[in-house]
Amino acid sequence: MVKFSDIKGFIFDLDGVITDTSVYHTEAWHQLADKVGTPWTQDLEDGLKGISRMDSLNMILDAGGVSNNYTEEEKVSLANEKNDRYLSLVNKMTPDNILPGIKEFLDSLVSNGYSISLASASKNSPTVLSKLGLTKYFSNVVDPASLTNGKPDPEIYQKGAQILDLKPEQCIGIEDAESGIESINGAGETSVGIGSRDTLKDADILFATTKDLTLDNIKKAMN
């Protein structure tokens, strides 16, 4: 592992790290799975985290063996339906939906001169950040529409370092999803997982909750 003193930037996932929107994504996808007749399982739920909208839809259709029942046009309309449901949940969000410790952590990064970027697969990130009142921290956001491949491919975390003008070794990526940890590791950055070892097997550093996400704890884990 690289030394803590080499770290210059932090690249954040959004859903499930900064705020609990992963619960909203899950709720909206679960409804869609019921509609197309795909049985909902914990594995499917975990596997969808971090995955782009169309890739998620395809995973759900594949899991139910119903991919061939829908035209491309119908798939787009299913994805839109899910997104409308998701946005109706996001609409009710306020700064109270920021996960514990995140605001303090962001402030500590700013006051210690670290660079910050966002590497979320979500096209709704700007809306969510604005609802949370966190837009000012994220002037560097990777546009998921610019990606050739979504998570678990390293591309999004590579771009998260590039927009900060940093090398991957100088960056820490923070994720709640297995696909995201794989993306960070593939990019050659240090991965911090938020959650349990069961799902985040390959995280370099693991914290059970965002409350534990502090510069001191990261430093201790790295040195």
Site string for ligand BG6, 82-101 (x = CB under 6 A): -x------------------
For strands 9-12 and 205-207, give the pairing: unpaired
> Rounded distance, CA 25 to CA 152, Å?
18
**Token reading at 196:** 């349990």
Site for Mg ion in 12-71 (CB under 5 A): 13, 15-16
198 is a catalytic site residue: no
In the complex, least distance from residue 128 CB atom to ligand BG6, rounded to whole angstroms: 8
Backbone angles phi, psi at 187, to 5 degrees: -80, -10
In the complex, least distance from residue 109 CB atom to ligand BG6, rounded to whole angstroms: 20
Q: Which does 51 bind (CB under 5 to 8 A by kind): ligand BG6, Mg ion, none?
A: ligand BG6
In the complex, least distance from residue 182 CB atom to ligand BG6, rounded to whole angstroms: 13
Q: Which one, of 149, 167, 148, lies nearest residue 158 by Cα? A: 167
Residue partners of 137: CB distance under 8 A and separation at least 6 = 106, 110, 116
> Rounded distance, CA 201 to CA 12, Å?
19
Q: Which one, of 152, 211, 221, 214, lies nearest residue 187 by Cα? A: 152
- Site stretch for ligand BG6 (CB under 6 A), options 37-45, 98-106, 114-122, 129-137: 114-122
Q: Which does 123 bind (CB under 5 to 8 A by kind): ligand BG6, Mg ion, none?
A: ligand BG6
Helical residues (DSSP H) of the chain, grouped into ranges:
21-36, 42-48, 53-63, 72-90, 102-111, 125-132, 155-162, 178-187, 215-222
46 is a catalytic site residue: no
Q: Is 178 in the site for Mg ion (CB under 5 A)?
A: no
For tokens 């979504």, what's the residue? Answer: 150
Which of 151/158 has CB closer to ligand BG6?
A: 151
Site string for Mg ion, 129-168 (x = CB under 5 A): ----------------------------------------
**Token reading at 73:** 């046009």
Q: Is 120 in the site for ligand BG6 (CB under 6 A)?
A: yes
Site for ligand BG6 in 25-64 (CB under 6 A): 25, 48-53, 56
Catalytic residues: 13, 15
> Interface residues with ligand BG6 (CB under 6 A)?
14-15, 22, 25, 48-53, 56, 83, 120-124, 177
Please give the residue ranges that form the binding site for Mg ion (CB under 5 A).
13, 15-16, 176-177
